[in-house]
Amino acid sequence: MKNVIWSFMVKRKVFTAKDVVKDLEGTKYKHLGKAFIRNKVKDFIKQQLYKATITAVSEGIFALREYATDWEKYIEKKKCAVCNREYVPFEEKQMFCSNACKKEYYKLYHQSRRHRGKTGRKFQKWQKWEEQKLIEVFKSDNYRYSRQKAAQLSKELGRSEEAIKERLKIIRRRLKGVTL
């Protein structure tokens, strides 16, 4: 398994633990389960950091030693949850391209909460950025509902898990017949 992990790292050059876990889930090791794979990948990363074959170039982002200086060229770009622009993440969990977009996100988030509080309305129209976030989170699983993901997103969006489940259904329906 270590050889396979290493081969994916070599292929990517710059990666997060999550990237490599995703790669391994497309192999014969899939049946071992995500938690097991994640631990193996994390252990392997630690070992390689110790041996200095890889370097931590940013928070949660690693590069093969040879690519550490110009790592930004090799990393998989992310799409900003607010403006949808591609950007180079500086840490694994980053969701926005800039501080401006981050501010915008929380402004919208608090606005929608306040609004709901005032009107007492249970159902709030889904904003475009909320849908984009939903798509970003569930896309890798082909929009299949997962409680764990929904719980996390529920905190971020201030919507119930049930509402997220319903919205996912709508998105799946909308995408029916469209090849992804």
Interface with Zn ion by CB under 5 A: which range of 6-14, 22-30, 51-59, 76-84?
76-84
- Single residue of 64, 101, 134, 157 touching Zn ion by CB under 5 A: 101
Is 41 a binding residue for Zn ion by CB under 5 A? The answer is no
Note whether 168 and 145 are within 8 A (CB): yes
Interface with Zn ion by CB under 5 A: which range of 13-21, 23-31, 74-82, 135-143?
74-82
CB of 132 to Zn ion, least distance (A): 11
Is 129 a binding residue for Zn ion by CB under 5 A? The answer is no
Give just the sign of the alpha carbon dihedral 126, 135, 13, 1. positive
Note whether 153 and 136 are within 8 A (CB): no
Q: How far apart are CA 135 and CA 142, in angstroms?
A: 9
- Single residue of 80, 134, 153, 168 touching Zn ion by CB under 5 A: 80
Which residues is 54 bridged to in the sheet? 64
Helix axes 34-51, 17-24, angle to 10 degrees: 130
Question: How many residues interact with Zn ion (rule CB under 5 A)?
Answer: 5
Which residues of the chain form contacts with Zn ion (CB under 5 A)?
80, 82-83, 97, 101
